[in-house]
Structure 1
Amino acid sequence: MTTSTSLSPVNRRIVWGVRALLALAFAAAGIAKLAGAPQMVQVFDAIGVGQWFRYLTGAIELTGVVLLLKPAAGFLGGLMLAVTMICGAATHLFVIGGNPAPAMVLAVMSAFVAWQLRPVSPFSAAS
């Protein structure tokens, strides 16, 4: 399989712009989680699973940022971050309360990147 290279120059710039915004947002969130920012500690206390989950989530977010910014791995980064934010929105809805909208917006943006960079089968071009 190859990655989708059929993006126009304008679409490619849009996707890179969204990737950059996501990288900034997730890098800040991941670093805050790993650094033990009081707000993050409080949120993960409310989840009730333990602080190990905060470290895991922060590591997943930073790994997603690295993948997102690596041209050959942008699809995987977008997919990883979209799934993470879907789980985050569900956590807000069903466990801790609060506003799930920021997580949902980040999920949609991450899914957009994953969709735009999705692998394309070499057989689909032959049709």
Structure 2
Amino acid sequence: MKEFDDRLKDLEKRLDTSLNQRKGPEGPDKTEGSAAGLAMRAVTEMFVGLAVCMGLGWMVDKYFGTAPWVMLALMPFGIAAGVVNVMRLSKSKQAEEILGGKGPVAPSVKDDDED
């Protein structure tokens, strides 16, 4: 039985050595590419929100002949929709993984109000 245990431990060591040799060096850090992808997605979210609302406004203006007033009226809604989508993206699991749970934190400022 002892001989069997020794052979088993030897096999385990050889397997670990073999796996470590096959593993090779670590690959390149993909965090930078992921962060760039996340930033590109945020820009796209902003653009799409604005484009959809302005496109709808343009179609309504074309139909009623009120160009460019409805399109201009819907533009703030498109910007707001883009901002909401980017905020939702910043709280997503993908953003948490890329940022490592560290979002931008504003430094605290002392209140210098003297009453």
**Which band: TM-score by shorter chain?**
0.3 to 0.5
TM-score, length basis structure 2: 0.34
TM-score, length basis structure 1: 0.32
